[in-house]
Structures are given as structure tokens and as C-alpha cells.
Structure 1
Amino acid sequence: MAISQKLLNEGEHVIVTTRTHVKALFLPIIVLLVTLALAIYLGTFGDGTTGKVIDIAVWVIAAVVIVWWVVRPFLSWLTTSYTFTNRRFLARSGFIAKEGRTIPLNRISGVDFEIGVVDRIFGCGTLVVSDASEQGRVELHDIPRVEQVQLKVSDELHRLSEQRHDDGA
């Protein structure tokens, strides 16, 4: 899960790195179980050639459902990471086609968190990174231990702010 060292500049180190909470996989797991149960049940209909055709059709449909609603979300979860270094925020995702966003820490104006009732049960929440760009804010949903992440990032932003203030004085 940690970001590759080749993506870090000289003197840059990781403050915190995380990915979405595993609760993001609950729905795909339910879809997997329901799809398999339905496929097994529907595969019992028909005898002879008709039964084989029904069985093949059911399992082809089940495979498409599993790939689209189970494998794809799992790979997305597995290959997405959020990293704060002492210089920038990096969001990276993708297995074959990659996507990323980088925000320098000195452009981040605030890091907030939101925790709903369900999030509280699972120990996660939404981290909101506000910056000075046109997009304005990045919402990172279902971040594990979101309060600790927010605290670490806020401490680093404060340290960076003091360092800039001391250098300018």
C-alpha cells in the first residue's frame, strides 16, 4: 500500500498513507454471494440439452456480474492510495490505466473530517482536503482512522506554516 520510493523527491518522506476502509468491499461481497447462490439455484433447472444451455447461460451471466460488480471494485480498492508527504498530497489509482492527483502542501488551506453514524461504527470517515485550486476540495471517503490522519496532516501543515514564517522573518 505504501507509495513507491521512486515517486518521492529527494528529502521527501511519507507522513501518512492510506486507502479506503475495507467496508467499501461489503457490497461487492454481498453481490458475489447472491450471484453464486442464484447461479447455483438457476443451474438446477432443465434436463438434457436444455439444462446445459440454461446452465451455460446462467454461469456466463454470473461471470459478467462478478467481474463488473465484484472484481472491478476490488481492484479499484486495492490499487487506490492516498499519501501525504512532508511536501505534497498524492492520490493514485489504477492497475493498468493509472490516474493521479498531486497537491503541494503549501497550497492546502485546510484538512477537515466528517464522520457519519455508520462510519463511526466502522472507525472511518471522510477526509476533506481544501486547496487553492479551481477544484477547491478533494473528498476522500471511508478513510480508516480519519481523525488520526487529519491530526497528522494538520500537524505537518502547521509545521510547514511555521517554517515558512520563520524563513520569511
Structure 2
Amino acid sequence: MPFSSVDKSSVTPSGKADTRLMRIGELAAQSQTPASTIRYYEQQGLLSGVQRTAGGSRRYDGSALLRLQMIRSLQNMGFALGDIPALLRDEQQAVDHERVMTTLNGRLEDIDTLLASLQRQRDQLHSLRCLLESSWEAGHCLSDEQILALRDQYLQPPDSAGNQD
């Protein structure tokens, strides 16, 4: 994982190595992740190191649980599955710090853009509410001209907002 160079995923609280293997159902229960999602993550290359029994059943060690928890945490932060490999340490390779920072910075830029858009929407809703309240307090509805002005104001493309000539 990018957040630590030491892999503590296969160590029990007593400090001993956890060599016990889990079936997919047990991993699903412990990680609160549906078995179908675990299989999907494996198909997408997000979950590696899966061992198979002679009968083809999957077996997972303690590192799989930590990796699933990290994947779910990163998804909760808004990362797409395609971004997650850049943030997780590959078992064969060291963490690419530059790639991690680029991915994190990209997500922060996405959030900043979303926040700006939400702030514009909030400001527009406040303006609309004030206009409606004052109009209704005066005992009338909006005129056709006011409605057309609102349409023109709120339906302009986001990149041209405030840039009228």
C-alpha cells in the first residue's frame, strides 16, 4: 500500500504471522464485500495472490482482507476502480510515489471542480429563492420577462457563466 512500506497485513495482533487461508465466503463476511465483488476485483487485477485448491476453490490470506479494505476505502474517497492500481503497492514492485501523487492530485482537482460547481448551484438557488420570496410577498408571481431572464441566466453553459459580452 502506498501509505506504508511495511506490509502488516499478514501479522496478527500478537505479532505472529497469520498463515491461515480463508474461503471467499469468510473473506466476504470479514470485509463486508460481496463474493461477486471480490471475484470481480480479482478479474480486474486489483486482488492478486489468490491461491486455488485442487478443486479450484479460492483461498485468501490476511493480505487479501487488508487489500479489500483499502480498495473499498479508496472507492469511498471517490476513486474509480481504474485509478486504484496506481495507489496500491504491487506485490512485485515498489510504490511509484510520483504516480500516487499524480493520482491523488487529479482526484483533488476533480473535487475542487465539483465544489465550485456546487457552490454556483447553491448561489443560484439562493438567488432564485430570494426572487420568489420577494415576488410572492408583493402578492404576484414572476412575469414572463422575469422567467425568460431566469432561463437565460441559469441555462447558459457552465464555462460561459459570468463571461457574457
Normalising by structure 2, what TM-score? 0.29
| Structure with more of its chain in strand, by fraction | 1
Which of 1 and 2 has greater Rg? 2
Per chain length, whose mean CA-contact separation is higher, i.e. which structure has more relative contact order (CA < 8 Å, sep 6+)? 1
Normalising by structure 1, what TM-score? 0.28
